[in-house]
């Protein structure tokens, strides 16, 4: 079933449609949120995102624009959480490389990238997550972030550079 049809069904008040919408989109929402705020707060923030979506869904006029609308809500919710997090001191992660087997190495690679993403400023982390991990077009990223496409391009360039520098700083082999 298409997302647009699910949206219309939700707006008509069908309870099963809300369940189907969450089932279809929760992995995307949770993945975005987890990459932005970390795994510890991801469940709570994702729940806040869904509450905002449920409240705003009746006012969504164009069901075709659901994905950018959803990511805009997720972005605002993450920004609210990050404002509170900036007051806390940063915790340094110690990632030890293990070459015992491929699975351990892949896990370490993933942890290094996740830790590197976590060290990036929120704006740069956000565009990397949207553009590369959620594979959204630059125009959609620009709409979600409320900035021109050129700004997204420059943030992506800066984000790639900062991530590379962070991985080098953590002595992760390039």
The pTM assigned to this predicted structure is 0.63
Say which range, 8-12, 88-92, 119-123, has the weakest mean pLDDT: 88-92
With pLDDT > 90 as the criterion, what percentage of the chain qualifies? 43
Domain ranges of the chain: 3-85, 102-169
According to the model, what pLDDT value does residue 95 have? 47
Q: Same topology for domains 3-85 and 102-169, yes or no?
A: no
What pLDDT digit, counting tens, does each position of 27-58 carry? 999 999 998 888 888 999 999 999 999 999 99
Buried b (16+ CB within 10 A) or exposed e, 141-150: bbbbbeeeee
Q: Which long-range contacts (CB under 8 A, 24 or more apart) does 117-122 make?
A: 117/35, 117/163, 118/38, 118/93, 119/166, 120/159, 120/162, 120/163, 120/166, 121/162, 122/36, 122/78, 122/79, 122/82
> What are 154-173's pLDDT values in tens digits?
999 998 898 888 888 877 66
For 3-85, CATH number?
1.10.1740.10
Could you tell me which CATH number the domain at 102-169 has? 1.10.10.10
């Amino acid at each position: 079933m298409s997302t647009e049809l699910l949206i219309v069904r939700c707006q008509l008040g069908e309870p099963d449609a809300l369940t189907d919408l969450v089932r279809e989109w929760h992995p995307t929402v949770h993945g975005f949120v987890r990459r932005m705020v970390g795994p510890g707060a991801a469940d709570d923030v994702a729940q806040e995102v869904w509450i905002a979506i449920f409240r705003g869904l009746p006012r969504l006029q164009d069901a075709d624009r659901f994905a950018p609308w959803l990511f805009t809500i997720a972005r605002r919710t993450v920004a609210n959480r990050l404002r509170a997090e900036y007051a806390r001191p940063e915790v340094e992660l110690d990632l030890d490389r293990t070459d015992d087997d491929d699975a351990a190495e892949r896990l370490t690679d993933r942890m290094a990238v996740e830790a590197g993403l976590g060290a990036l400023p929120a704006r740069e982390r956000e565009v990397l997550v949207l553009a590369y991990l959620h594979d959204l077009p630059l125009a959609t990223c620009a709409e979600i972030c409320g900035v021109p496409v050129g700004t997204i391009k420059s943030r992506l360039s800066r984000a790639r550079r900062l991530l590379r520098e962070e991985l080098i700083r953590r002595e992760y082999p390039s």
